[in-house]
Structure 1
Amino acid sequence: MDRQEEALRLAEALLSDIELSETSTPKRVMKAMRLARLMRDTAAQEWLGFEVNGLPNPGTEKSQEWMTRTGRWVDDEKKRGYWVPSASVEATMNASQGALQAFSSSVSLSGDMIATAMRERAGSINGYTKNVREMAQILAAVDAQLYEYAGDVYAELQFSEVQASLFEQSRVAVDATLASLAGDALKKVESVSERLHSDEPEAISQAMSTCRRLIDSVADHVFPARDEPYDLNGQELSVKKNAVLNRINAFLHTSGVRGGRADRLRRSLSDIYGRVSTGVHSDVDSHEARYLFLATYVLLGEVLTLTASSD
């Protein structure tokens, strides 16, 4: 099981745990801490650390914010509140609940001081009841934060998993098509992938040059160059060797691609070809270069699968 898959399962388990109240809040905190480590989420590890080790008093701006989010303040102006971790909060609540159960047992009071004893007993009951209520509210607020975090991680990983699955399915189809229809182009994909791991300008330039040659290779395959123009809806379209985009557009037309899809493919091809051509010389960093490669790969994959469908 890889890290992302483990994180997805852990997030789902944490959500179920909170929904069904299967364990205590401190145990959920530890589970969430593991989730944050798997996600390499340092920000989450910081606030979860408050629930594991307690909050620094008087605290930092972040710890005071966490005091507010978990309802720990007794007097926020004087910075008085419950700075202890969730395990201590739960222990206080359990102890107070135990004391209340003891008071609920039948007690025989008599003598001259019965009124004083009754007042003290009532005061103790009120104090323990207040403790239980306040501690329960803090734990509920912590659980709410854990639930929100687990839900966000779960949604993120689910989306990532769906995207990865869709991309993998497309990749298999595209690679198979590239291998059968444009074997040389497939070799170029491997070289692009290697070069994009480098931030060196020369490596980026070479990668963009390879992307451009990849588009050229696909154009050569789907619509070989010819001297006579192509009739595209009554307009003569040059389809000579250097008219790479025109030849791909002519292929789309011969494949029966019309309307919005044709417009999208034409615009995308024009934009990408322009950027990778620019990137050969300058103006493209490694981050954009990676996305340009992915966009080129996906777009040409769609074009080549049109060929496969047509064949």
Structure 2
Amino acid sequence: MKQQKESLRLLEEALKELESPKGSVLSAIQKISRAAVVMDDTELHVWCLIQLGEQKYTAALRRFLDALVVRQEDDSEEVKDELSKYRKEIDDLGLKPGIHYSSEELTVKYPESGGGYSNIGFVEERYADLVRTKKGNDGTYYKNNLNSHINYVRKKSHELASNLFNQLKFSGTISNCFELLKNEVDDKLIDLDSVLTEQLMLAFKSVSSSKEEEWSQALTTCRRILEGLADQLYPASDQKINGRVLGQSQYVNRIWAFMDASIESDSNKALAKTHIDFLGSWLEKINKLANKGVHAELGQLEATKAVFHTYLVMADILEHLGDEAGDEGKPNINTATIDEIEALLSVSRNVAKEIFKHRIKEGFLDLDSLSKINGVGPKTLKKAEEEFVIDG
């Protein structure tokens, strides 16, 4: 995203230069070149280097162009072989016809009186000198040819810069925004359960498939992911919370209970609960239709909605793993994140997860309950007293 912003800034400045009667084509090309480097657009970068007179490319192009002109008048095998040799030379440099040496560009670059393959800044200077002295030529360079050269480069660079600018600014906006959400969820979920993360990634991949069976599979996978997440965050129990049964099959209720215990803001809590209730009931409805063999409503759009909703619910849930600090500048162990538990207690990721899950299940952690968790010994308990605020 940062690279994209920098490229857009450079391209916008370049376009302003090119659209101004007094703007410098040299300055514009330099900015387009930098933008191309940032976005790893090698073809555009090389085109810019040619306009800037990079000898590596311009010398080979001049040899090829001269041989091409000779070939128009001499059909001998010797001339053909020489042309083939120079064509191979520019091919080996990665130069492409229509991009780095179009017919129009070769026509403009051929006359030395128009600057040839010199740096476009040099061409602008020679033209400015002739305009200032009110001369049509200086014996080497001709004003009309220089002007044609500058106008061609101005027009072509404006076209290339505009294309890249529009591509960066307007294409893929929605997908990029979702990619941001997806990456955030994937990163957090993989710490909690790598298997669930892999399943979610596969479901996302499945909805772009052309096979109907993969769409149906993505729907089923979304439900299983939520079931697995419930097992991680709020294991099944015989108790009830606000009349909700928390058995093994009541995965929506268990995620709901996790959010009830973890989200402090009442408004955020209500929104997250509503979302998981909606997704759970919607997935159950869709899966019942699938089990009955009703496929008309189970198209790619439904599968895509299921995956997107699952990512949104995951974002709601994983955002609230606890991040409040204690009154003394130390985090409270009852609101600490998994990362804080792992880092500050110097325990493995698995032990940190066990501590976190125990806290969610019991609703509270103190030294006594902490000591009963597998992997937590005297040294860890001492570390907990030093690094965390532990109420009670």
Q: Structure 2-normalised TM-score? A: 0.42
Q: Structure 1-normalised TM-score? A: 0.50
Higher RCO (Cα < 8 Å, 6 or more apart):
1
